[in-house]
Structure 1
Amino acid sequence: MGEVRSIEAPFVVSGPSGVAVRTRLKGLSPGDEKVLRLAGGHLGSLASKDLRARCRDGLAHSGQAWAVRKRELTPASSSRWAGSITKGTHDQWALARRCQSAHIQNLEAGIRTIEARLALPVGQKGNKKAPGGYRSRREWHAKSRRLRVLGDRLAAARADRKAGIVHVVCGGKRLARSRHHLEEAGLTESACRGRWEAERWFFQADGESGKRYGNETIRISPDGEVSIKLPAPLAYLANAPHGRYVLTGQVAFAHRGGDWADRVAANRAIAYRIHLDTGRGRWYVTASWQIPPTPTVPIEAALAHGVIGVDMNADLPHARLRSRGGTPTAAWRLDTHGNPTGSPRRFSYDLTGTAQHRDAQVRHALTRLLHWAKTCGVKAIAVGDLDFAAEKTREKHGRRTRFRQLISGMPTARLRARLASMADAMGIAIIAVDPAYTSRWGAQHWKKPLTSTTRMTTRHDAAAVAIGRRAQGHPIRRRTTPPPHDRSDRAGHRTVQARPGVPGREEPRPRIPGPRTRSVRAGCGANAGNQNAQHRPGRSAEPETWQQDSLPLGL
């Protein structure tokens, strides 16, 4: 076995710092929809122009340039609309920079893999830790050409990052490309055009504490009345004083409606976003606000009632769930001593379909997991701090397309965010642990002992136990039990389970007076701890020729 890398210490994940709830805008008249489309299209064009100006400034951007852009947008909209647009532009540019950095890391990982495989002889076998050489001279030649292509892309990406250049498509690059492949996307030309325009609209406004109902631009009263401050060029469409338009429909927030109503009544800041779902033809409004993060409890207090270890790998061999497109998540409850109790549980979610469907599936699975934890009385859930940022490259996994699709489809970031937010609302702590070797050691040390005639323990059930034990500070690898034979040489070293800090953990077992079995006489184990008293090669158990007798020779 090679050198084991250092394992990071587990930690309690901090709670969410914000809340976002969404509801449907019902009862809209044709006039309301016309005003919303005109306002969204006008503000979207201003946002696109501002984003182009921000990308042109690059790294030379400053607070003064930000103020200049805002002053230029104010006559065509309003002061508050201009502030929301410039802030959204700044966030979009920062997101593009982070994506650019991730793209550079992905290219570097692919180049390292290709260079390592090109240096190996053709046809050399690989192992679990590193891939071998390429299978044929043809593949070797193709990969050498691809290495040059990736090198050129990396050089261009590094040059763009150094110069502060980012490439952003308002509405999304995927939707822009689907225009040329309408049949594959399952869209008509008119539907694609409508979706493209809706994605490029801008209809979000930041809140402001102290103002009426917490937002002067998009205002929602406690009874659900929605009024919008129209941009200056569209002021002629107003049906209320001060250039405002009141929608005929009303809204009601079912989830966290009480929290929203309290903030509205106290005139605290609430940000709103209005958007259109072109597939369903429905309008939605999203309300979001900041909350003080929940104080993080000590990890010892969180583990006082045990822990539930969760393995979020997506390749459980469950035929029925796999045939239906389900992705099971393995979970097992551990007591305070690190012992698995009860039976493992599996919570499946479907990763096929639309993004809204996948998000709903993740919420349902996490809800069942949290309700089970609440029923068990456990106050902590341990999860592996997974990150597949450098594991999705085609260069690392080659022809294993199904495995690449598997790890690419795992919503690790969404699972972490959803689980932390939902667990915080239920008073359950989330403990993140280092996932290194959890699947390997779990299968090696816990799969067989936890398998019985009535329970088939999978590799990921054992990994859940390993994750839970690592969160509790217990070692994952189990020490061997006493051998079943009369001599330890036949079944391995005679040891007992003990923590690393226990004194004398490597010493022989203490001698218990009296017979341990019917076939063993009392006193047979008196010399168990004296290695010289055993009949072993190289030991001084028998008198040698050079040893002197204990009695004088003259007697």
Structure 2
Amino acid sequence: MPKSRPQLPTRVVAPGNGVSVRTRLRLDSDERVLLEAIGAHLTRARNSDLAAARRGEKANHRYKALVEQFGIHSRYAGTICLDNDAATKAAKEHLRRHLAGLRRAVATLEHRISAPTRSSCGCGERRGCSSCRGGYATANERWQKLRRLDARRAELARVETRLAAKDYPVVYGGRRLAGTRHHLGKAGLTETQWRRAWSEARHWFGCAGNAGKSGGNPCLTLTRGDGGRWHLTVSVPKPIAEQFGTSTRVQLRHPIALHHRSRELEERLNARSAVRVDLQPDTDTKGRARTYLRLSWVRPAPEAVDLAAARAGGVVGVDLNADHLAATHVDGSGNPVGRPVRIPLDLADASTRTRDGRLRAAVTAVLEHAKTTGATAVAVEDLDFTDSKTREKFGRRRTFRHLIAGFPTAQFKDRVVAMAATQGLAVIAVDPRYTSRYGGASWQRALSTPTVVATRHEGASVAIGRRALGHGLTTRAGRKTGPGKPRQRPVPHQCDGSDARPSAGQERATTDTTEATIRTGAHTPPVHTRQPSRHPPQASGVATPGGLTEQVHAGHRFPGSPHTG
């Protein structure tokens, strides 16, 4: 059995130094036809160079051949070689990650198949004994996994062969869209609609920036026109210029509207710093053709943020779930402050653009909550659900596997890091293990009130914040003080700063003390322990101080409950 991975260190995630903005181009009919012809010409040049890039030929010889064969600017040709090399490298890394995942899957299957099945062991234990614990439940399931093991070994051999032959698959436009051509009825597309989507996905029209050039780019140049507005000047390849009877430099009539990060972009253009420019055709929901201008550049590397400085003002712990984000402000002493915040995140059955917009809105709400509470950092889990071992680990639990696959882990971490840097906030990544378990066991009751029952996800956000601050997932007051004694959980600070105690009807008539103070710092206010309710908890619910219950899973029950297993 492969060994479990070591614990991930708590670290401050450095923000990226790349910036990309997009704006729409206003085009006349003749300009649109000209730009479409230039884009089709450059796309053919890019596709012709792809085979040479996959063979590993030198970029210096390839870009000279492109200039001679297609009559394009040398900067166009150099950008084509650069992009094809990057796509080939990405395909190579994808194959290597796929190879590592297949090896882990094969190792897991071989280990579980080698153990006896629990039905044939005869131990009678639910989870199996020491000999059959790693095996499958029945002989039929083991036989099905044998078939899957053969399939995984065959796939592993194919990937190893491709890597040895340096055959790295690159499909511009995407394999999914390419396969949709054979299932147009199922996709709800006509052949004309598919061909338009295919041409837009494979379209290439761009140029890498060049420092020292006017407008930051020699082929797609932004220059100031009358009235101080920015205009785009396009370098036209010689064959297209001869076809349309135009010059090799054409300036578009309508100005460019710069909105997002306009000040930073104008500073770079005035300083003649490098700016990459790409033209992207698109079709809106009403079938109208649109053309967008994407500008991207690289900032100087930001200074590294010290972990102690990121923890100075407390953190906002964020628990990522399939349908919402749970966020709680945790002060420097590890105590939750105020009520948790639940941010909806509806990503099911949505397009990529819609998912990205909703994720951005959710991250914006988290950052606004952090700025309002005075926190200096946002704490997130360092999740990675792309491991191929997930299917072998969770087996036939298809619903749960589908739920995990829907987590936007990489997108969320990239978005929150980039957007937090603009707000002056740091992002701390922590190890995700046991945060939900201890959050539901230790902090769910503490966050609950007589009228509001907290979820285990809100408790997990507190555990994430505490781990980011260097504290344990729970507190000393949450541990058992003796054999058979229930655990007492601290309640968070009140929203109004008061230390109101539970009413007399909510206190248990015992000889135990009704208050407990957590002393985590010289200036930390006392935090009172909320006593359990006199009403016995139901078997399928969670006991709250007011006797309220909520239908939840067994994992939501609190330690010390008579129904806790």
- Which TM bucket (shorter chain)? 0.7 to 0.9
Give the match for residue 560 of structure 2: none
Instruction: Report the 3-state secondary structure (helix = DSSP H, G, I; strand = E; otherwise coil) of the residue aligned with 2:294.
Output: strand
Q: Are 1:33 and 2:41 counterparts?
A: no
Q: Are 1:349 and 2:345 counterparts?
A: yes
User: Partners of 1:159 and 1:49 in 2: how far apart?
Assistant: 25
1:203-247 deviation digits (Å, cap 9, x = unpaired) = 111011111111111112242312211122112256775x02222
Give the match for residue 429 of structure 1: 426
Q: Are 1:370 and 2:329 counterparts?
A: no
* Cα separation, partners in 2 of 1:489 and 1:43, compared to 1, 3 Å: closer
One-letter identity of the residue aligned with 1:332: T
Determine which of 321, 335, 338 is the counterpart of 1:313.
Answer: 321
One-letter identity of the residue aligned with 2:231: E
Q: Are 1:228 and 2:234 counterparts?
A: yes
C-alpha deviation, 1:103, in angstroms:
1.4
Determine which of 334, 337, 348 is the counterpart of 1:338.
Answer: 334
What is the total number of aligned residue pairs between the two structures?
473
Q: Within 5 A, what are the aligned runs for 1:537-548?
A: none
Rg larger in structure: 1
* Cα separation, partners in 2 of 1:491 and 1:170, compared to 1, 3 Å: closer
Give the match for residue 174 of structure 1: 176
User: Partners of 2:101 and 2:158 in 1: how far apart?
Assistant: 14
C-alpha deviation, 1:41, in angstroms:
1.3
Q: Are 1:200 and 2:206 counterparts?
A: no
Give the match for residue 262 of structure 1: 267
Q: Is contact 2:73–2:219 with CA below 8 Å preserved after alignment?
A: no
C-alpha deviation, 1:412, in angstroms:
1.2
Give the match for residue 42 of structure 1: 41
Q: Within 5 A, what are the aligned runs for 1:365-514?
A: 365-390=362-387, 393-480=390-477, 488=482, 491=485
Q: Are 1:104 and 2:99 counterparts?
A: yes
User: Partners of 1:401 and 1:446 in 2: how far apart?
Assistant: 30
User: Partners of 1:292 and 1:460 in 2: how far apart?
Assistant: 38
* Cα separation, partners in 2 of 1:481 and 1:79, compared to 1, 3 Å: closer
User: Partners of 2:245 and 2:432 in 1: how far apart?
Assistant: 58
Instruction: Report the 3-state secondary structure (helix = DSSP H, G, I; strand = E; otherwise coil) of the residue aligned with 1:38.
Output: helix
Q: Are 1:290 and 2:298 counterparts?
A: yes
More deviation, 162-171/67-76 = 162-171
Give the match for residue 535 of structure 1: none
* Cα separation, partners in 2 of 1:249 and 1:19, compared to 1, 3 Å: same
One-letter identity of the residue aligned with 2:290: R
One-letter identity of the residue aligned with 1:433: V
User: Partners of 2:484 and 2:395 in 1: how far apart?
Assistant: 44
Q: Is contact 2:104–2:389 with CA below 8 Å preserved after alignment?
A: no
Q: Is contact 1:230–1:238 with CA below 8 Å preserved after alignment?
A: no
One-letter identity of the residue aligned with 1:69: R
* Cα separation, partners in 2 of 1:71 and 1:459, compared to 1, 3 Å: same
1:426-466 deviation digits (Å, cap 9, x = unpaired) = 10111111112111122222222332312312111111111
Q: Is contact 1:392–1:408 with CA below 8 Å preserved after alignment?
A: no
**Could you say what the CA RMSD is over the residues aligned between the two structures, in angstroms?**
2.8
User: Partners of 2:24 and 2:157 in 1: how far apart?
Assistant: 47
More deviation, 110-119/390-399 = 390-399
Give the match for residue 77 of structure 2: 82
Q: Is contact 2:105–2:389 with CA below 8 Å preserved after alignment?
A: no
* Cα separation, partners in 2 of 1:239 and 1:357, compared to 1, 3 Å: farther
Instruction: Report the 3-state secondary structure (helix = DSSP H, G, I; strand = E; otherwise coil) of the residue aligned with 1:344.
Output: strand
Give the match for residue 123 of structure 2: none
User: Partners of 2:332 and 2:245 in 1: how far apart?
Assistant: 64
Q: Are 1:164 and 2:166 counterparts?
A: yes
1:32-63 deviation digits (Å, cap 9, x = unpaired) = 22112211111111111111111123xxx5xx
1:228-285 deviation digits (Å, cap 9, x = unpaired) = 11122112256775x0222233321211111111111221111011111134421111
* Cα separation, partners in 2 of 1:476 and 1:135, compared to 1, 3 Å: closer
More deviation, 416-425/137-146 = 137-146
One-letter identity of the residue aligned with 1:220: L
* Cα separation, partners in 2 of 1:453 and 1:432, compared to 1, 3 Å: same
* Cα separation, partners in 2 of 1:493 and 1:342, compared to 1, 3 Å: closer
Give the match for residue 251 of structure 1: 256
Q: Is contact 2:339–2:447 with CA below 8 Å preserved after alignment?
A: no
Q: Is contact 2:105–2:388 with CA below 8 Å preserved after alignment?
A: no
* Cα separation, partners in 2 of 1:437 and 1:167, compared to 1, 3 Å: same
One-letter identity of the residue aligned with 1:18: G
C-alpha deviation, 1:138, in angstroms:
4.1
> Once the two structures are aligned, what percentage of the paired residues are identical?
37
User: Partners of 1:276 and 1:518 in 2: how far apart?
Assistant: 71
One-letter identity of the residue aligned with 2:18: G
One-letter identity of the residue aligned with 1:307: V
Q: Is contact 2:275–2:295 with CA below 8 Å preserved after alignment?
A: yes
Determine which of 62, 73, 85 is the counterpart of 1:69.
Answer: 62
User: Partners of 2:168 and 2:86 in 1: how far apart?
Assistant: 13
* Cα separation, partners in 2 of 1:10 and 1:493, compared to 1, 3 Å: closer
Structure 2 unaligned segments of length 5 or more: list them: 120-125, 491-510, 514-565
One-letter identity of the residue aligned with 1:55: R
* Cα separation, partners in 2 of 1:237 and 1:369, compared to 1, 3 Å: farther
C-alpha deviation, 1:168, in angstroms:
1.4
* Cα separation, partners in 2 of 1:362 and 1:466, compared to 1, 3 Å: same
Structure 1 unaligned segments of length 5 or more: list them: 315-326, 497-516, 520-555
Higher relative contact order (CA 8 A, sep 6+): 1
C-alpha deviation, 1:331, in angstroms:
0.6
TM-score, normalised relative to structure 2: 0.78
One-letter identity of the residue aligned with 1:312: L
C-alpha deviation, 1:107, in angstroms:
1.7
Q: Within 5 A, what are the aligned runs for 1:134-149?
A: 134=136, 136-149=138-151
Q: Is contact 1:126–1:132 with CA below 8 Å preserved after alignment?
A: no
Q: Is contact 1:213–1:264 with CA below 8 Å preserved after alignment?
A: yes
User: Partners of 2:321 and 2:478 in 1: how far apart?
Assistant: 30
* Cα separation, partners in 2 of 1:270 and 1:238, compared to 1, 3 Å: farther
One-letter identity of the residue aligned with 1:303: R
One-letter identity of the residue aligned with 2:164: K
* Cα separation, partners in 2 of 1:117 and 1:126, compared to 1, 3 Å: farther
User: Partners of 2:418 and 2:25 in 1: how far apart?
Assistant: 25
